[in-house]
Structure 1
Amino acid sequence: MLIGIMSDTHDNLPAIRKAVEFLNERNVDLVIHAGDYVAPFVAGELRKLKAPLKGVFGNNDGERKGLYEALGICDEILEIEADGMKIAVTHGTDERIVRALARSRLYDVVIVGHTHHYEIREEGRTILVNPGEVCGYLTGVKSVALLDTRKREVTIINIETGELLGAMSL
């Protein structure tokens, strides 16, 4: 299964459009959003994804009822199982929760956002993935991640240039 991972879209419709186009071109089977959509009007672009979207709330998602109605987003923490891999998703606002999820030994992958900085790192036997920011507001880099559960690898890609920003085998 190929999973697209995004975070911190922050209402940037042109960037969201680019991320959706990128993920659709790669025929991902599922898209995970690690929060900070911000407003429900982003649903118009996110609904153009060919794959189902699952996600969690971020600290800037003030219109939660609207996001729930538009996209079905309703959780702070999400658990997903794909090809035998256990995945936890949280925005990452509280680093203690991120560490607890990663160190719990319950998950193969923990996905976060919040910092706007892309990263792939090992935390014990768990891989921690932050796809960076789709919006590009803080770092100037608009990025997403791809998790291939069959190949057991994760990559982070700049959606504007196609540049590989990071990769790790699980």
Structure 2
Amino acid sequence: MIGIMSDSHDRLEKISKAVRVLNHRGVAAVLHAGDIVSPFTVRAFRELRCKVHFVWGNNDGDKLTLIRLFGDMATFHGWVMHGTVGGLSIYMAHHIPDELAEKLARAGFNLIISGHTHSLSIRRLADRSMLINPGEVCGYLTGRSTVVVLDSLTMQAEVVEL
């Protein structure tokens, strides 16, 4: 199981709730598609019982302090992550236009993760490719605070309201 989240925007109570949900679900890794924003949120994320992978968003501020405070529990991939988690080939960036997502699916990525728009979206793109925008943890723009839990074996995605 993989937890997918984005756009937490310093909203500590929602981050804490997301962490509790993801820990309860027993996710093996969390993928965050950007806009953590400030270093003071690290204390909420530190409760996660798994490795976290982050990419930068357009609102992320003090990047060096975020990296330092997260320490070994997190990997910061810069603006783009492409790698393997849970046996899936993953491409993650804060914003991925639709035409690029289609090309990434054709290139063989199983999971393409984007954030930025704060709009929840889960779409199959190709045989075994899926594009997920987990919406927003913060709930500021849409009024919905969400994370996605993905079963990496079946590619079944579940939206969890916070």
TM over 0.5: yes
Q: Secondary structure at the match of 2:17?
A: helix
Structure 1 residue 100 displacement after superposition:
6.2
1:28 aligns with 2:16: no
One-letter identity of the residue aligned with 1:117: S
Question: Which piece of structure 1 moves more, 63-72 or 127-136?
Answer: 63-72
Q: Secondary structure at the match of 1:17?
A: helix
What is the alpha-carbon distance in structure 2 between the residues aligned to residue 97 and residue 11 of structure 1?
Answer: 30
Aligned Cα root-mean-square deviation (Å):
1.8
| TM-score for both structures, normalised by structure 1 | 0.84
One-letter identity of the residue aligned with 2:78: D
- Relative to structure 1, the CA distance from residue 25 to residue 84 in structure 2 (aligned partners, 3 Å threshold; closer, same or farther) is closer
What is the alpha-carbon distance in structure 2 between the residues aligned to residue 96 and residue 153 of structure 1?
Answer: 21
**Is the Cα contact below 8 Å between 1:77 and 1:90 reproduced in 2?**
yes
- Relative to structure 1, the CA distance from residue 89 to residue 97 in structure 2 (aligned partners, 3 Å threshold; closer, same or farther) is farther
**Is the Cα contact below 8 Å between 1:68 and 1:74 reproduced in 2?**
no
**Is the Cα contact below 8 Å between 1:20 and 1:48 reproduced in 2?**
yes
Determine the structure 1 residue equivalent to 2:145.
142
| TM-score for both structures, normalised by structure 2 | 0.88
Q: Secondary structure at the match of 1:69?
A: helix
Structure 1 residue 70 displacement after superposition:
1.9
Q: Percent identity?
A: 38
What is the alpha-carbon distance in structure 2 between the residues aligned to residue 74 and residue 124 of structure 1?
Answer: 25
